[in-house]
Amino acid sequence: MSQKAKGAVLGYVAIVVGIVTALVFTPFLVNKLGTDNYGILSLAMAFVAYISILDLGMNDSLMRFFVKHRGNKQDKELFLARMLFTYALVGMFIIGVVWLLTESFVGIFAQGLSADNILVLEQMFKIVGVGAAIMIASNPFSSLIYAEERFVFLRTLEIVTSLLSIVVIWLLLISDYGLVEIAWSMCAFKVVTALFRLGYVALVLEYRVKIHLPEWPELKRILLYGAPIFVVAMFEQLFHRIDHVLIGSMVGAAAVSIYAIGVMFNKYIMSLTIVITRVLTPDIIRRIDSGISADKILQLMVRISRIQALFIYLVIGGVVVFGQQFLTLWLNDDFAQSYYVLLLVLLPFSLELIGNSRNIVLQVKEIYWYRSMTIVIMAIVNIVITLVLLPHYGVVGAAIGTGFALLVGYIILGSVLQLKVGVSFARYLAGVYGATLPVNMVLVGFALWVVDKFTLTWLSFATAVIIYTIIYVFMTYSMLLNSEERQLIKRFIRK
């Protein structure tokens, strides 16, 4: 099995591990911490996500350089040395931003959080923020490993550190430690990740690791390529995390917990598509750089999106059918509103997830600024709607704002791709959703009608999910897959 295939498999293993540990561990975490402290933890992670994008969008630029110079090890070593110096400066800049941000917490959260909660939030953010800065400083190693298509190492590292992190947090909680100690453990694992990246590049790939001053013309090209990516990442984090901050500042920590539970599985579902896209990214870059036509780009996007849709339909359908009863079984009735948050955000977000190969096309065609501007529009729309609806509808109002903004952005970027690249948005939608969406809607509607007649226990819930999955797989293979997709599955199974 190739590195790409193994990387894809391990990527899905990582997703399954993440989902299973979340299912098992989150009730324990909520129970041990309490609803308010779980909300504080969610807020801290939201702020860490903000500062984690402060590499100025250079990570994708680095990978493109490594892919283009794949056969020239000396050039890559010199480039790596210059980027390590640059990223060391970025890491120090991030630490400074962390300290400055914590000074504003009292003013932001005085209405929604107690003084003690604000103090704990400040401590957590400083600790985990330092760990995030160190891991970001190691991003040149990660870009090089991706460009060398050593996906097995990266995915294995992700799985092992994720599992060990959960074990350590569990040991801390049963020993009656609290949020600050959890933050220290998170910081430690980020540092360990950075060290393993360094070790793999130096010992396995056998690159000489050194540091050089960057060359301004080269750095300028990287920054120009990465600038729109950075703007997108910055406003995407603002878009996806601002609701946590607004809810925390206007309503309180308990409401943050309800909202956080509603959106927590988004990252795992997003990973289903990112695994495929990330593995195929070097190949997509090479094809587009070779000058393929708009029709060929359309065919490539449809093929990737259809494969991603097969996984997303199963997950989304399961969430719609079983999500409400699952939340009641998993946690308690206090989190019933989380189901509506989940649906309002996840359904429109699934369109973006299925079509995320579009973003690579925009990057390589050097028109990613349009996505940057679109994300800015989406963030503004989300903030305005959330501020209007949050006082009246609580966390559901915040979810409505996010979901509506996602739909607006999806339509804008589909139009951009058609106008600037020549990829027909209508043909793309027809190619991906023409037959698959109506069939899945019928299946979900029928399953909802059946499940609504029963109150499920864990045993009947598991049985129902298995039956639904079997029906979905049979229906998809027999009715929705084309011959190429069936051959792809057969080849994958044989390998």
Could you tell me which of 28, 79, 59 has the C-alpha nearest to residue 217? 79
Give the model's pLDDT for residue 266.
76
Q: Where are the alpha helices (DSSP H) in 103-215?
A: 105-109, 115-137, 139-147, 151-174, 179-199
Give the model's pLDDT for residue 404.
94
> Which tokens sit at 488?
């792809």
Q: Give a yes or no: residue 223 inside a domain.
A: yes
**Same domain for 324 and 177:** no
Give the model's pLDDT for residue 90.
83
Q: Give a yes or no: residue 221 inside a domain.
A: yes
**Same domain for 232 and 285:** no
The predicted-structure confidence for 122-137, as pLDDT tens digits, reads as follows 899 899 889 989 988 8
Confidence check: pLDDT of 375 > 80: yes
Residue 325: domain span: 265-495
Confidence check: pLDDT of 186 > 80: yes
> Which tokens sit at 200?
């793999």
**Same domain for 328 and 301:** yes
- The string of DSSP codes covering 285-347 is HHHHHTT--HHHHHHHHHHHHHHHHHHHHHHHHHHHHHHHHHHHHHS-GGGTHHHHHHHHHHH
**Same domain for 373 and 344:** yes
Instruction: Write the DSSP symbol of residue 149.
Output: T
Contacts of 494 (CB under 8 A, 6+ apart): none
Confidence check: pLDDT of 231 > 90: no
**Same domain for 306 and 215:** no
**Same domain for 284 and 230:** no
Give the model's pLDDT for residue 60.
64
The predicted-structure confidence for 164-175, as pLDDT tens digits, reads as follows 999 999 999 999
Per-state percent for the chain, helix, strand, coil, to nearest 5: 85, 0, 15
Give the model's pLDDT for residue 2.
59
Q: Give a yes or no: residue 258 inside a domain.
A: no
**Same domain for 218 and 105:** yes
**Same domain for 229 and 294:** no
Give the model's pLDDT for residue 184.
95
Q: Give a yes or no: residue 257 inside a domain.
A: no
Packed helices 294-330 and 436-451: angle between N→C axes, nearest 10 degrees = 10
Confidence check: pLDDT of 82 > 60: yes
If pLDDT is split at 50, 70 and 90, which confidence band does 70 have? low
**Same domain for 365 and 241:** no
- The string of DSSP codes covering 404-453 is HHHHHHHHHHHHHHHHHH---HHHHHHHHHTTHHHHHHHHHHHHHHHHTT
Say which residue, 427 or 5, is predicted with more confidence. 427
CA 334 to chain CA mean position, Å: 27
Region 70-77 average pLDDT: 74
End-to-end, the C-alpha distance of the chain in Å comes to: 6
Confidence check: pLDDT of 312 > 60: yes
Question: How many Å apart are CA 359 and CA 348, to the nearest integer?
Answer: 17
The predicted-structure confidence for 387-439, as pLDDT tens digits, reads as follows 899 888 888 888 899 899 999 999 999 999 899 888 888 999 998 888 888 98
Domain boundary among 225, 249, 273: 249
Q: Give a yes or no: residue 105 inside a domain.
A: yes
Q: What is the pTM of this model?
A: 0.70
State percent of the chain over pLDDT 70: 87
Region 61-86 average pLDDT: 76
Give the model's pLDDT for residue 188.
94
If pLDDT is split at 50, 70 and 90, which confidence band does 229 have? low
Average pLDDT of the chain is 82
Domain boundary among 249, 274, 300: 249
**Same domain for 204 and 337:** no
**Same domain for 326 and 242:** no
Region 261-271 average pLDDT: 74
**Same domain for 470 and 346:** yes
If pLDDT is split at 50, 70 and 90, which confidence band does 146 have? confident
Instruction: Write the DSSP symbol of residue 214.
Output: P
Packed helices 266-289 and 139-147: angle between N→C axes, nearest 10 degrees = 60
Could you tell me which of 453, 448, 349, 322 has the C-alpha nearest to residue 406? 349
Q: Give a yes or no: residue 255 inside a domain.
A: no
Domain boundary among 217, 249, 281: 249
Question: How many Å apart are CA 264 and CA 159, to the nearest integer?
Answer: 18
Kindly list the distances between the CA atom of residue 154 and the CA atoms of 7, 17, 330, 336, 434, in Å, as whole numbers in the listed order.
Answer: 8, 15, 31, 37, 36
136 neighbors 52 (Cβ within 8 angstroms):
yes
Per the structure, how many domains does the chain have? 2
Could you tell me which of 268, 366, 295 has the C-alpha nearest to residue 23? 268
Give the model's pLDDT for residue 208.
84
